[in-house]
Structure 1
Amino acid sequence: MLGGLGLSPDHESVYRLLVARMTAGSAELADALRLPVATVDAALSHLLAYGLVTRTPDAEFSAAPPAVALGALISERRDALRSAELALVTLAEEHRGATAGRSISELIEVVTGVDAIQHRFAQVQHAARTQVRTFVTAPFVAVPPGANRAETVLIDRGIGYRVVLERAVLTEPGAVAETIESLGNGVQVRVVESLPLKLVLADAELGLVPLTVGLGGEPGAVLLHRSGLLAALDALFEIVWQRAYPLEVTALNGLIDADDPGADTRTPTELDRRILALLLAGFTDQVVATQLDLSLRTLQRRLRHLMDLAGVETRMQLGWYAARHNWA
């Protein structure tokens, strides 16, 4: 828990035990923690240097009050982070000025290998000051569903996320669960039939474009700095975003039993609404049935029931009726 303050698990264990016992010698601490005396002595030296522990007149050790000692460490870390943030702004401005006269080879960096792509993927997101925008296509090569830990961290810092999914992505294992989690975290998600490429944009400053992988080939990507090419990709994202269909949590999240005998058959159930939302997003019957864990026959039966409720004869009429009466 205190690793963020520069304390190892051994340091924390010794300090916690001293807080509980008030005072103790190194041998006593080593015996209680079942650690070598040398390890405890090294931890005590570190804690003394940090001001978390003091020596008593009888050569034992005492824990400094946590509210005072840890509070001071936390304040120091906050000050250091503020200084780092100011340095980041300064360096970013210097970098932006330097790129103005750079050659094409300096503005485009080729990244090769899964580990390198994952590293750059995280770096590009952390470079954002206002928003991250992404195109997500299938299949996943370097960053599978659930592997983007940077998203939650940056959302907590106030960075906005806009994501456009290729429709086939939602048929990939784990993709629906990750999309639901992202929507719950405030990510704006839209879906289109197909996308021309994978893409990650940090504001209008950096872009990462994964390259097509040949059979047996090593995955690669291109890291783009501010340039005419990056500006074109920025514009492409905004055009696609405007034409994409917004996804909502209610269209994906959870299931209810369509055959619930207690359900009111005169109004659409929650499952019916999810079916309609996915169909209106352009998914096929088979994809909708798979995602909602329904048989194709059950899905079509539910649609026939909805058409009867709406008093319509075609699915196009049902879509119009559903939109007008807020069924989806």
Structure 2
Amino acid sequence: MTVQMIPGRAARPAAPLVLLSTCAGIDAALTAATGEVLLASTLPPPTASPLRRVDLDNIARGVRYRVLLDDRVRELPALALRLGQLADGRTEVRTLAALPADLTVVDGATALMPVERDSGRPAELAMFRLPSVVATAVALFERLWQPATPLTAWQADLSWRERELLALLSAGCTDESSAARLGVSVRTVRRMMAAIMDQLGARSRFQAGLKAANRGLLATHHAAGPDYAG
């Protein structure tokens, strides 16, 4: 499910619900954005992007975007890199372990959400302008946004030393013993770990270990390795 929120000028009184069955109708709703678009999107296909051409055009003309995606997008290096490169002062991209729905809010006045159809017919996108519905959509987005992890342009692979450090810590080694095994200072170990967590989009050492293990990034043995200055 995808929701985009765009705050801006107050909307004129309008019908509380409009079904948008065409791309042109969706694009028209987004093109009207002047301030900010809030977009929450479940994981897209590996070759696709959650941002439409109209979204990229909006960003180019200065509309602020906050984009919220599923953590699994980080497992798609090419897509994660493209999205991370979008991050600047007016565009922020974050990821969360699980998103409950797709949502778009335009200028805080219009909410776009999928609506299920009867008899197995494909879902349509509903456009809501009812203030209470839009406010609920914005509140949901903000609640999900706060704990989400920023997505930046990061490299998919860790260095040998970073992989070895994660393996040592995952095996129960302390910072001190890991530093001794790697031939670096404890301060270097802690600096490396902070960089690894940032690179993997992890909020704790434990989560960093899980993410690295799931991606096959942990070293499979604890060799002495090259010498490093601490």
For the aligned pair, the TM-score class normalised by the smaller chain equals 0.5 to 0.7
Shift in Å, 1:120: 3.8
Percent identity reads: 20
Shift in Å, 1:209: 0.9
Match of 1:230 in 2: 134
Stretches of structure 1 lacking an aligned partner (at least 5 in a row): 1-88, 100-105, 290-295, 306-328
Match of 1:280 in 2: 202
Q: Normalised by the size of structure 2, how large is the TM-score? A: 0.63
Q: Is the 8 A contact 2:69 2:94 kept in 1?
A: yes
Shift in Å, 1:175: 3.1
Structure with the greater relative contact order (CA < 8 A, sep ≥ 6): 1 or 2?
Answer: 2
What root-mean-square deviation, in Å, do the aligned CA atoms of Structure 1 and Structure 2 show?
A: 4.0
Higher strand share goes to which structure?
A: 2
Give the number of the structure whose alpha-carbon radius of gyration is greater.
1
SS at structure 2 position matched to 1:155: helix
Shift in Å, 1:233: 0.7
* CA distance, structure 2, for counterparts of residue 170 and residue 254 of structure 1: 8
Are 2:219 and 1:301 equivalent residues in the alignment?
Answer: yes
Are 2:65 and 1:161 equivalent residues in the alignment?
Answer: yes
* CA distance, structure 1, for counterparts of residue 220 and residue 111 of structure 2: 44
SS at structure 2 position matched to 1:301: coil
1:134-283 to 2 correspondences below 5 Å: 134-139=39-44, 144-145=48-49, 148-171=52-75, 174-183=78-87, 186-211=90-115, 217-249=121-153, 252-253=154-155, 258=160, 266=184, 267=188, 273-274=195-196, 277-278=199-200, 280-281=202-203, 282=207
Q: Normalised by the size of structure 1, how large is the TM-score? A: 0.46
String of CA shifts for 1:26-54, please: whole Å, max 9, x gaps. xxxxxxxxxxxxxxxxxxxxxxxxxxxxx
The one-letter code of the counterpart of 1:258 is W
Shift in Å, 1:125: 2.6
* CA distance, structure 2, for counterparts of residue 206 and residue 248 of structure 1: 28
Match of 1:320 in 2: none
* CA distance, structure 1, for counterparts of residue 69 and residue 221 of structure 2: 26
SS at structure 2 position matched to 1:280: coil
In the alignment of these two chains, the number of paired residues is 188
Shift in Å, 1:178: 3.1
The one-letter code of the counterpart of 2:13 is A
Higher helix share goes to which structure?
A: 1
String of CA shifts for 1:82-131, please: whole Å, max 9, x gaps. xxxxxxx9xx76xx3433xxxxxx2111233xxx1x33443333222211
SS at structure 2 position matched to 1:243: coil
